[in-house]
Amino acid sequence: MNWITNLVRPKIRSLLRREGPENLWIKCPESGQLVFHKEVEDNLMVIPGSEHHLRMGTKERLAHMFDGGIYDLVPLPEVPLDPLKFKDEKRYTDRLKDAKAKTALQDSVTVATGALDHLPMTIAVQDFAFMGGSLGMAAGEGIILAFETALARSTPLVLFVASGGARMQEGILSLMQLPRTTVALRRLRAAGLPYIVVLTNPTTGGVTASYAMLGDVHIAEPGALIGFAGARVIEQTIREKLPEGFQRAEYLRDHGMVDMVLHRKEIRPTISRLCRLLMKREAA
pTM of the model: 0.89
Helix (H, G, I), strand (E, B) or coil at 282: coil
Distance CA 111, CA 151 (A): 13
Q: Is the pLDDT of residue 21 over 70?
A: no
User: Confidence class of residue 2 from pLDDT cuts 50, 70 and 90?
Assistant: low
Q: What percent of the chain has pLDDT over 90?
A: 79
Query: What are the residues facing 26 on neighbouring strands?
Result: 35
Q: Select the more confidently predicted residue: 15 or 88.
A: 88
- The residue-averaged pLDDT of 113-130 equals 97
Distance CA 200, CA 166 (A): 17
- The residue-averaged pLDDT of 126-136 equals 96
**pLDDT value for 177:** 96
Residue 129 in contact with residue 102, Cβ under 8 Å?
yes
Q: Is the pLDDT of residue 32 over 80?
A: yes
The helices-and-strands tally (H runs, E runs) of the chain is 11, 10
- The residue-averaged pLDDT of 20-26 equals 69
Cα end-to-end distance, the chain, whole Å: 66
Residue type, 35: V
- The residue-averaged pLDDT of 68-76 equals 97
**pLDDT value for 52:** 93
- The residue-averaged pLDDT of 271-280 equals 95
Distance CA 229, CA 43 (A): 32
Q: Could you give the angle at the alpha carbon of 127 between the alpha carbons of 59 and 261, nearest 5°?
A: 95
Buried/exposed 12-35: b ≥16 CB within 10 Å, e otherwise: eeeeeeeeeeeeeebebeeeeeeb
**pLDDT value for 161:** 98
- The residue-averaged pLDDT of 57-62 equals 97
CA neighbor of 58 nearest in space, from 139, 118, 117: 139
Q: Is the pLDDT of residue 18 over 90?
A: no
Which residues lie closer than 8 Å to 280 by C-beta, 6 or more apart?
Answer: none
Q: Select the more confidently predicted residue: 64 or 14.
A: 64
Residue 152 in contact with residue 188, Cβ under 8 Å?
no
**pLDDT value for 29:** 86
**pLDDT value for 10:** 57
